[in-house]
Every structure is written in C-alpha cells, then in structure tokens.
A and B are shown apart, each in its own frame.
Chain A
C-alpha cells in the first residue's frame, strides 16, 4: 500500500469531480506526491546520519536532533498529503451509494426506460447536485482546513520555512552550548519553499472550486425561481381568476347591502 495505490483509489473519484477538481488532483499527484517520492525523500534521507555536533559526548547528537526536528519535513508532508487527499473518498462513497440505489431501482423496474442495462449505471457520471453537492462541498472544505492546519504546523515548528546551517544546542547531556550542523540546508530550503508554493496553489484551486460550486448553486436556484415566475401553473391562473370574480361579487353584494340599509 503506497502512493500508487492511493492514486488508483483517487483516480476513480476524478470522474465525478469538476474541472477544477481534476486540475487539483493532477497538481497533487505530479507536483507534490511525485516530487516527494523522487526528490525530497533523497534530500532528507541522511538527515540524522549527517547531522553533526561539535562534541564527542555520546548522546548529544541524538538529543539535539530530536530537539530541533520533533517531526521531519518528509513525514509531515506525507501526513499532509494523506489527510488532504482523503476527503475525496467521502465523495467516492456517496457516488457508490447513489449508484447502488439506482441499481436497486433498476432491478425493481422503476428505471428501465432510463438505462438500458446495469452496466450503463456503473459507467454513468453523476451531476453534482442535491446531497452530492453538500458532500462535495464538505470535502473541499475539509481539504482547505487540513492544508491550512499543516502549513501552520510547519510554520510553528520550524520558525518560518528556512533551514538554518547551524543550530546551537544546550540540551543535556551536551556540555554547555554545542554547535550542530544540518546536512544540505540550502537544498532543503529550496524544496520546502517549493512544497509550500504548491500547497498554496492547491489552496487557491480549492477556494476557486468552492466559489464555482456556490456560484453554480445560486445560479441554478435563481433560474428555477425565474422559471416559476414566467410560467405559472394553469391552475394558479384559474384560481386567481376565480378569486377576482369572488372579490367582484362580494364588492357588489356589499354595495347592495349598503343600498338597502340607506
């Protein structure tokens, strides 16, 4: 079970996404997961082995490394990518549930005219409306939240996104203050900035998708309301006519009564 399997799972969700959603998925897999696997993992591969402290005191290096890197960048990114890609599974589950319901109705005989056979239901692409719209919107919202949380966690843990060359450590058992040198700091800074930039692009794509879905929702709603105004029901027309007649009759009756009393 690795990134390839995740790609297989999420590839199925792609069919029911919006265009922006498909772009987001591509950016995620090519510019984040692939970069992580083919490049970033090599850069951080020797992070502990080549973390050197200016001391012979056993244990000082371990303790200082642990103090400055509570959780490595690579692991944080891996967790971020897993959490950010998982809300799409909510959509996949909802689509699977809808498909299952349609199949059930087809078997009962309710939708025979709509679909030729069950294979067509399996291949069908669902429109993002009704409850699926809410699921989809929630999944985008969760993606945004996870992205923001992880970016904040990065910023909080590493005081900005720069990797310093030298760190001064005074944790026990290091004697006094000890200089510790990080391996490949510039390369790590470059990749950190790259991953942060792509993360920001993903956040922008998610915000754009959210706006697009909301705009589509309101547009559809206003269209429905407009249609109802322009084409009222035949019954409504008749009712208003009858009401008007009743009003006229009651007016004329009142006049007659007043006429009588006076």
Chain B
C-alpha cells in the first residue's frame, strides 16, 4: 500500500464528487503528493546525516537533532495528506450502501438481472438526502484536518522558515553548540510551496461547502414552490400487491432521484401491472 494504492482507492470516489471536489483531488495528487514523492523526499533525505554540530562530543549531534526536529516535515506532510484524503472514504462507503439498497429494490421489482445490476454500479449518484450530509461532513473534516496540521507546523517550526544555524545546549553537549542544518533554503522553499497548496486546498474545500449549501437551499426553495404529490402513505390493506407497491414506494422515496432517473430512462423496465407512483 503506497501513494499509488491511495490514488486507486480515491479515484473511485471521484465519480460521485462535485466538480470542485474533482479539482481538489487533482490538486492534492499532482501538487502535493507528487511533489512530495518526486522532490521533497530527496531534499529531506539526508537531514540527519548532514546535520552537523560544532563539537566532537558523542551523542550531542543526535540529541540536538531530536530536540529541534521532534517530527520531520516529510512525515508530517505524509500524515496530513493521508488524514485529509481519508474522509472521502466516508462518501465512498455511503455510496456503496446506497447502491446496495438500489440493487435490493431492483430485485424486489423483478429486475435483478446482471444488466441492471451493472447499471446500478455505473451510474453516478446524486448528492442529495443523507448522502449530502455525509458529503458535507467529509468536507468539514477535511477542512479541520488541514487547519490542524497547518497549526501544528506553525507551532513546531515557527514562521515556516528553516534556519541555517541552531544553537543547542541539551545534555551531553558542552555549553552552547552551533548546529548547522542541511539545505535550509531548499527546505524553506518547499515548505512555503506545500503551505501555499494547502491553502489552495482549504479555499477549494470552503468553496465546495458553500456550493453544496447553496444548492441544497435552492432545491429546498424549488420543493416549497412546487409541492410534490406527497410521500406515499404506508396505510392500506396488507394485500400482497398493495403491500408490495407500498414497500417499493417507501424505498423509492428514500432513494431520492438516482433510481427514479434510471427507471424513468428505461420505461420498459416497469412492468404493466406496477405503477411507480413515486417516479
């Protein structure tokens, strides 16, 4: 399991994201993960080997390095990228659950053949209903993780700048010892670059959140002005065909759009006897 594996996992989520979500995912993979792998890792590769202190006291080098670099930038970025990309898996799980429900419904209405099952897997889910809440939560978590890691970076490495020289007096170093960091300017450049891309991702996430909220409010406004024929009631005799129809209706109202679209597109799917009242 490496970055390529993560890319495979998250590419599947891409299909059910908004346009901004897809741009965000591209920025994450190209400008952050790829830059980390092809460039930044080689800059920090020799950070401990080339960390030199002006002393011959054994152990002083190690102790000073540990004091000034409790956790390396590279490892922090790797953790940040993993935590930031993982909330998208919540959405993936919810989509899988919804697809499972749709398959169940199709089997119930007598369309359980492989062709329709494949279509369930392939079609894009609309971000509405409970999926909307999951999606919004995932975006909020992403924002939270980004902000937390940016703060941690700031706390550990004030000013985001890498100094050339640090003065160390931890035991066993005698008095104060000058320690020199390897490639400080290059490290500062990459730190600033990763910071900028992190900010871009934060802005994209906020834009996506605003877009989702506005879309939901607009849809709600439309619903209020055109009240639907109402949810099918679940009353009625528990005769077999009516009971079956009611169950179908309930499942359809829960699905909110995606399956209705599919059935609407293929009117031949509906059998003569069944009238899909929620379509």
Q: Which residues of A contact B (CB under 8 A)?
A: 1-3, 5-6, 9, 41, 48-49, 57-59, 61-63, 65-66, 69-72, 74-75, 78-79, 82, 86, 89, 93, 97, 107, 173
**Cα of A11 to Cα of B46 in the assembled complex, Å:** 34
Q: How large is the interface on B (under 10, 10 to 19, 20 to 34, 35 or more residues)?
A: 35 or more
Q: Does B164 contact A (CB under 8 A)?
A: yes
Q: Does B182 contact A (CB under 8 A)?
A: yes
Q: Does B54 contact A (CB under 8 A)?
A: yes
Total cross-chain contacts (CB, 8 A): 101
B186 touches A71 (CB 8 A): yes
- Report B-chain residues with C-beta under 8 Å of the C-beta of A49: 46, 50
Closest CB in chain A relative to B234 CB, distance in Å: 32
Q: Does B278 contact A (CB under 8 A)?
A: no
Known: A48-B182, A58-B55, A75-B42. 9 other contacts (CB 8 A): A2-B38, A59-B54, A62-B164, A63-B165, A65-B183, A66-B183, A70-B185, A74-B42, A173-B178
A1 touches B29 (CB 8 A): yes
Is chain A's interface secondary structure helix, strand, loop, or mixed overall? helix
Q: Does B239 contact A (CB under 8 A)?
A: no
B165, B182, B189: the one within 8 Å of A70 (CB): B189
Q: Which 8 A-B pairs have the closest CB atoms?
A: A59-B180, A62-B180, A70-B185, A58-B54, A1-B3, A1-B33, A78-B39, A75-B39
B4 touches A1 (CB 8 A): yes
Interface string of B198-236 (1 = CB under 8 A from A): 000000000000000000000000000000000000000
B19, B189, B265: the one within 8 Å of A71 (CB): B189
Chain B residues numbered 4-40 whose CB sits less than 8 Å from any CB in chain A? 4, 6-7, 19, 22-23, 26, 29-31, 33-35, 37-39
- Report B-chain residues with C-beta under 8 Å of the C-beta of A41: 42
Closest CB in chain A relative to B193 CB, distance in Å: 8
State whether A63 and B185 are in contact (beta carbons under 8 Å apart), knowing that A58-B52, A79-B39, A82-B35 are contacts in the complex: no
**Cα of A74 to Cα of B52 in the assembled complex, Å:** 24
B180, B183, B265: the one within 8 Å of A48 (CB): B183
State whether A5 and B34 are in contact (beta carbons under 8 Å apart), knowing that A48-B46, A63-B180, A107-B265 are contacts in the complex: yes
- Report A-chain residues with C-beta under 8 Å of the C-beta of B183: 48, 65-66, 69, 72
Closest CB in chain A relative to B205 CB, distance in Å: 18
State whether A62 and B50 are in contact (beta carbons under 8 Å apart), knowing that A71-B186, A82-B31 are contacts in the complex: yes
Could you list 28 examples of A-B contacts with CB < 8 Å?
A: A1-B3, A1-B4, A1-B7, A1-B34, A1-B37, A2-B38, A5-B29, A5-B34, A48-B50, A58-B52, A58-B180, A59-B53, A61-B52, A63-B165, A66-B164, A69-B186, A70-B186, A72-B43, A74-B39, A75-B39, A82-B31, A82-B35, A86-B30, A86-B31, A93-B22, A93-B23, A107-B265, A173-B180
B178 touches A82 (CB 8 A): no
Interface string of B159-183 (1 = CB under 8 A from A): 0000011000000000000111111
- Report B-chain residues with C-beta under 8 Å of the C-beta of A65: 182-183
A1, A63, A93, A97: the one within 8 Å of B164 (CB): A63
Q: Does B87 contact A (CB under 8 A)?
A: no
